Structure 1
Amino acid sequence: MNLESTTVTVEKSAEEVFNFLSDIKNFEKLMPENISKFEVLNDEKFLFALKGMPEIVLKKKELISPNKVVLGAAGGKLDFSLTGNITELEAGKSEVQLLFDGEFNSMMAMMIKGPISKFIETLACNIPSSI
């Protein structure tokens, strides 16, 4: 299952956006209002839970400065990645799009597609005001 957020414009350089997204504690600022738990486990991993959903642990998988930040599931029953693609438009201005990629059976995909689409959309839309 592949999902994409809208592309958001940020009044920061690609390097600044990359540095922000590379620091996992900043993801707390991007979380939706219905977050019930957020905990930084170490420099590489954080745990979060949304109301009515199980806890999810994400860890840094790949960093390609200044254009890509990839987080992935750290254990658990679901295997997926969340990629932030960053494109510099001009000095001090960039675009960011979040991509969700996961392997799920069709029943699971049907159940989580809506909530995950809304989740990555919220994360993306919160980036410009959080940096």
Structure 2
Amino acid sequence: MNLESPTVTIKKPAQDTFEFLSNVKNFEQLMPENISKFEVLGEDTFVFALKGMPEIILKKKEAIAPNKIVLGAAGGKLDFSLTGDIKSVDDSTSEVQLTFNGDFNPMMAMMIKGPISKFIETLATNLPSKV
């Protein structure tokens, strides 16, 4: 299953956007309002939960400055990644698109497609005002 957020424009250089997304603590600012838990577990790992959903642990798996950040599932039964692709528009503007990629059985995919789509859209929508 591959889901993409809308591309958002950020009034900061690509390097600033990359540094913001590289710091896992900053993801708390991007979370939807229905978050019930957010805790940084380490320099590159955090756990979060949305109301009515199980806890998800994400770990920074890859960072290619200033264009790409990849977070992946750290444990649990589901294997997926959340990738932030950062493009430089000019010296003071960048664009970001988030992509969720996971390998799920058809029943699971059907159940989580809506909530995950809304989740990554919220993260992307919150980015321009937080970076």
Partner Cα separation in structure 2 for residue 56 and residue 77 of structure 1 = 10
Q: Secondary structure at the match of 2:88?
A: strand
**What's 1:86 paired with?**
86
How far residue 99 of structure 1 moved from its aligned partner, in angstroms, is 0.2
Distance 1:100 1:66 in 2: 19
- Cross-structure match for 2:46: 46
User: Secondary structure, in 3 states, of the residue corresponding to 2:53?
Assistant: coil
Number of the residue aligned with 2:119: 119
Distance in 2, Cα, partners of 1:13 & 1:4: 22
Runs of at least 4 residues off by over 2 Å: none
Letter of the structure 2 residue corresponding to residue 36 of structure 1:
S
* Whole-Å separation in 2 of the counterparts to 1:78 and 1:125: 25
Give the length in aligned residue pairs. Answer: 131
3-state secondary structure, aligned to 2:83: strand
1:54-96 deviations in Å (ceiling 9; x for gaps): 0000000000000000000000011000000000001110000
3-state SS of 1:41 partner: strand
Q: Which stretches in structure 1 are left out of the alignment for 5+ residues?
A: none
Distance in structure 2 (CA, Å) of the matches to 1:62 and 1:69? 6
Show the counterpart of 2:21. Answer: 21
Q: TM-score, normalised by structure 2?
A: 1.00
Residue identity opposite 2:55 in structure 1: E
Letter in 1 for 2:74: A
Q: Secondary structure at the match of 2:42?
A: coil
Residue 110 of structure 2 corresponds to 110
- Identity of paired residues, percent? 73
Alpha-carbon separation, structure 2, partners of 1:40 and 1:60: 12
Superposition CA RMSD, Å: 0.3
Alignment pair present for 1:64 and 2:59: no
Amino acid at match of 1:63: A
Query: Could you tell me the TM-score, scaled by structure 1's length?
Result: 1.00
Whichever residue aligns with residue 104 of structure 1, its letter is F
